[in-house]
């Protein structure tokens, strides 16, 4: 049995759960990503706090900002992973088309037909001038008489 969802309802279990924190409306997934970022930043800070607290603070802030970027990333209504997939598909797998003005593109089938007809005419000419040698026919063709 196939289940059809309306476009405004997302399929994940927690997708509809949001929290309003004064200016922001944060979903449960964004909150989870931010919690992972905070935990990883704290672990990095604790790891570097024994040797140098300044380096630990800088790395922890850098990691946390990456997680904030991932959590709140939206361009043209796409989250980060679908946006990167669309970007890869458009830039790496699609061929770019070049358009020219006032240019008539010839049909490849018609080109092949013209080549075949020219070969047939050449064979007919060779059959008609059978009393000439092939070298003389080649010299005439190179001379531009045919």
pLDDT score, position 19: 73
The CA distance from 75 to 8, in Å, is 18
Q: Is the same domain home to 123 and 77?
A: no
Count of C-beta atoms within a 10 Å radius of residue 30: 20
Q: Is the same domain home to 55 and 122?
A: no
The CA distance from 142 to 144, in Å, is 5
**Three-state SS for 10?**
coil
Q: Is the same domain home to 22 and 89?
A: yes
Q: Is the same domain home to 83 and 133?
A: no
Distances (CA, A) of 132 to 129, 139, 143: 6, 11, 16
Does 103 map to a domain? no
pLDDT score, position 108: 84
127 is in which domain, residue-wise? 111-143
Does 106 map to a domain? no
Q: Given 3-state DSSP classes, what are the helix, strand and coil percentages for the chain, each rounded to the nearest 5? A: 60, 5, 35
Q: Is the same domain home to 79 and 136?
A: no
Q: Is the same domain home to 51 and 88?
A: yes
pLDDT score, position 58: 93
Does 10 map to a domain? no
In the predicted model, residues of the chain with pLDDT beneath 50 are: 1
Domain count, the chain: 2
Q: Is the same domain home to 79 and 27?
A: yes
Q: Is the same domain home to 72 and 123?
A: no
pLDDT score, position 74: 75
Q: Is the same domain home to 29 and 73?
A: yes
* C-alpha distance across the termini of the chain, in Å: 73
């Amino acid at each position: 049995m196939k289940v059809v969802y309306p476009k405004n309802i997302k399929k994940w279990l927690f997708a509809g759960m949001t929290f309003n924190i004064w200016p922001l409306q944060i979903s449960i997934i964004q909150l989870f990503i931010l919690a992972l970022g905070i935990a990883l930043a704290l672990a990095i800070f604790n790891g570097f706090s024994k040797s140098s607290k300044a380096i630990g603070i800088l790395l922890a802030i850098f990691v946390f900002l990456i997680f904030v970027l991932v959590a709140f990333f939206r361009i043209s209504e796409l989250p980060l992973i679908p946006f990167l997939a669309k970007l890869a598909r458009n830039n790496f797998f699609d061929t770019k088309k070049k358009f020219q003005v006032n240019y008539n593109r010839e049909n490849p089938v018609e080109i092949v037909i013209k080549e075949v007809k020219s070969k047939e005419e050449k064979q007919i000419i060779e059959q008609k001038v059978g009393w000439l040698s092939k070298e003389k026919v080649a010299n005439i063709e190179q001379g531009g008489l045919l």
